[in-house]
Copies of this chain bind each other. A is one copy, B any other.
Amino acid sequence: SGLEEDVKKTIGENPVVVYSKTWCSYSSEVKSLFKRLGVNPHVVELDQLGSQGSELQKTLESLTGQRTVPNVFIGSKHIGGCSDTVKLHQQGKLESLLSEAGAV
């Protein structure tokens, strides 16, 4: 579908992508974690896209099995949500994923 192609293009062209909502603290947490690590994520704020936002959220669910935000990709690989990303960082694995993806 058009939106599926959009997502694949976005995650292919950007080492770090966060599908987010502007009002959501879990989304803010993951965005600031990346900034603290010197990464400038490509952020898509789903709540600012009107009806396309919920369409995109459904597309992400069919692509990744995850219907929640934040939805994080590194090097085109689906990472998960806020807790998944924080856990990878606590395990010392996040920074190597980021450098492999050319994000840092």
Closest Cβ–Cβ distance, residue A33 to chain B (whole Å): 15
CA gap between A25 and B25 in the complex, in Å: 8
Query: In the complex, what distance in Å separates the CA atom of A82 from the CA atom of B24?
Result: 13
A34 within 8 A of B: no
Instruction: Give the CA-CA distance A25 to B86 in the complex, in Å.
Output: 15
Q: Residue-by-residue, is A7-42 near B (CB-CB < 8 Å gives 1, otherwise 0)?
A: 000000000000000001110000000000000000
Of all chain B residues, the one with the shortest Cβ separation from A81 is B25
Residues of B close to A82: CB separation below 8 A: 25
The interface residues of chain B lying within 8 Å CB-to-CB of A24 are: 24-25
> Shortest Cβ distance from A71 into chain B, in angstroms?
13
A82 to B26, CA, bound (A): 12
A69 to chain B, nearest CB (A): 9
Q: What are 6 pairs between A and B in contact, CB < 8 Å? A: A24-B24, A24-B25, A25-B25, A25-B26, A25-B82, A26-B26
